[in-house]
A and B are shown apart, each in its own frame.
Chain A
Amino acid sequence: MPLLELRGVAARYGSLQALHGIDLSVGEGEIVAVLGANGAGKTTTLRAISGTVRATGSIVFAGERLARRPEAVARAGIAHVPEGRGTFTQLSVDENLRLGAHVRRDRAAVKADHDRVLERFPGLADRRGQAAGTLSGGEQQQLALARALMQQPRLLLLDEPSLGLAPRVVADFFRVVGELNEQEGLSVLVVEQNANLALASSSRAYVLEVGRIAVAGTSSELRRHASVRRSYLGY
């Protein structure tokens, strides 16, 4: 049974229908990518899952219907790193990390994770006391990921992590995500415009077009798929 399953999920902004009833799933321990052009509905998909946007249809997580409010979704074990990273810019790096663990009650384990996360991201450790808004784009991206990890989620939702970042920084980021997936079994649903990168990092992918799933399959299949190549991979 997949960890996350969407069936017939639709969402609307005012009179604009952003999602027309999509089916999507993420298995335990998988990295799944969602590709598509601007406005295709990728971000809306993640928002529907985290409850930031009202959506109809069935969303089942770990075998149970997922509550439709962000606070409850966080408690259920899903961490959503939104577009633009959603950093608390006026708070320090440490405070950002503490907030990531807000839903947890095991104080000693939280402290241990705090230290572990700073080991994994030494750049952040150097800047623990600094206001998060003073960090570079790449560092803020790391902080967003670190904050999400502090939540100890089972599923990570990443919205356009490459946005506004230099290629090497992005590659680094995806490497870390891959490590987390391998070492700790973290499941990931990543939305990306950078199709090459997304397909290289994931095992399965969906292509969204105007609110509908146009193509779905394993990442290697999609890489060979003619129309995907033409529209999204550039060759």
Chain B
Amino acid sequence: MSRLRIAAGVVVAAATVALVLVLPHWLSDAKAAEFARAGCFFIAILGLNLLTGYTGQISLGHGALMAVGAYTTAILTADHGFRDLWTVPLAGLVAMGAGFVLGLPARRLSGLYLALVTFAFAVAMPALLKRFSGLTGGSQGINLFDKALNRSTGALGSVHVFGATVATNDFLFYLTWGIGFALAGAAWLLVRGRVGRAFRAMRDSEVAAASAGINTAFYKTLAFAISGFYAGVGGSLFVLVSNWFVSPTTFSFDKSLLLVVGAVVGGLGSLAGMALGALFIQFVPDWAANVSHAPGAPSVFFGAAIVLVMILLPSGLGGLLRKLTEPLTRRLYTRSE
């Protein structure tokens, strides 16, 4: 990479960090909470980006993996008195395990078939959660407010952290986006290293990668596991920053679909795009709901937004970002149509 590109990258990164630090000052309390939720989506979509953007495997089940993380946090915090923030990495690990299991069929299946398996997983999850009501509280879900004693995030009003007093929702904003950036950094390092190269080799041609000695089965499952970790962290934080309540319907199939939409609209393969995708799926539905209150209208506008973005920017918002910040490169193969 040229020095100029590195310098430009550093400047952009610094500007983004500065923006994130300062943003809450300009946001109302409610909006900060919404941004915090977007931050949770950001983390989950980062994982999905690693899976779909880098290894080319499609998952319609990441909402269910978020649910695994969410319930882990809920159960540990409410029923076992764990300190809420400490359950976040644990939730990630449990979801990582679930992701690993989900990744097992991936060794033999790909494309549409893999998507269908993950789809079945996503649709089945709420039913499973209802079934094991002893652990999960069944259809009623788990309410953390009544039960959680050890908490950093549930305070109403303000939080004391590192000696300073911060409004709760601002704290949640920093929490989610901070973790998000840290995990994005980890993802970036992963992608640049040997694992990332193996991922990309598999995305371009599985047969070629295998004949080059890459253990494709291992890396496929690894990708699922890692993306599961991210989804779990995202789900866990989602519970902590949204309603302190989780039920089987919190992460229905809709969420899985929304995550995929966010990843593709954001622009697969682009880490910055993932942030834009997360903002898209958090704020555009709200905007759509406000444009008109007629029944069905919000769906129409949200759907239209998705269609328009994909038509105008087939590589997603991240693709646009890339085009604006890098010199134009020609497409590899020209067609005459």
Q: Which residue of A lies closest to B334 (CB)?
A: A54
Q: Mark B326-337, 1 if CB is under 8 A from A, else 0.
A: 000111111111
Chain B 223-238 residues near chain A, CB threshold 8 A: none
Q: Are A51 and B336 in contact (CB under 8 A)?
A: yes
State the interface size on chain B (CB cutoff 8 A): 9
Cβ-neighbour of B336 out of A12, A14, A15, A69 (below 8 A): A69
Chain A 66-102 residues near chain B, CB threshold 8 A: 68-70
Bound together, the chains give a CA A15 to CA B333 distance in angstroms of 9
Nearest-neighbour CB distance to chain A for B332, whole angstroms, equals: 4
Query: Which residues of chain A have C-beta atoms less than 8 A from B331's C-beta?
Result: 14
Nearest-neighbour CB distance to chain B for A68, whole angstroms, equals: 5
Q: Which residue of A lies closest to B335 (CB)?
A: A54
- Give the interface centre of A14, A51, A52, A70 by most chain B CB atoms within 10 Å: A14
Q: Which residue of A lies closest to B332 (CB)?
A: A14
Bound together, the chains give a CA A69 to CA B334 distance in angstroms of 13
Chain A 21-74 residues near chain B, CB threshold 8 A: 51-55, 68-70
State the interface size on chain A (CB cutoff 8 A): 12
Q: Are A53 and B330 in contact (CB under 8 A)?
A: no
Q: Which residue of A lies closest to B330 (CB)?
A: A14
Q: Are B335 and A15 in contact (CB under 8 A)?
A: no
Nearest-neighbour CB distance to chain B for A59, whole angstroms, equals: 12
Nearest-neighbour CB distance to chain A for B330, whole angstroms, equals: 5
Q: Which residue of A lies closest to B337 (CB)?
A: A69
Q: Which residue of B lies closest to A70 (CB)?
A: B336
Further contacts, 11 of them, CB under 8 A, given A14-B332, A15-B330, A52-B335: A13-B332, A13-B334, A14-B331, A52-B336, A53-B335, A53-B336, A54-B334, A54-B336, A55-B336, A68-B336, A69-B337
B-side interface residues toward A, CB under 8 Å? 329-337
Q: List 27 A-B contacts (CB under 8 A).
A: A12-B330, A12-B334, A13-B332, A13-B333, A13-B334, A14-B329, A14-B330, A14-B331, A14-B332, A14-B333, A14-B334, A15-B329, A15-B330, A51-B336, A52-B335, A52-B336, A53-B334, A53-B335, A53-B336, A54-B334, A54-B335, A54-B336, A55-B336, A68-B336, A69-B336, A69-B337, A70-B336
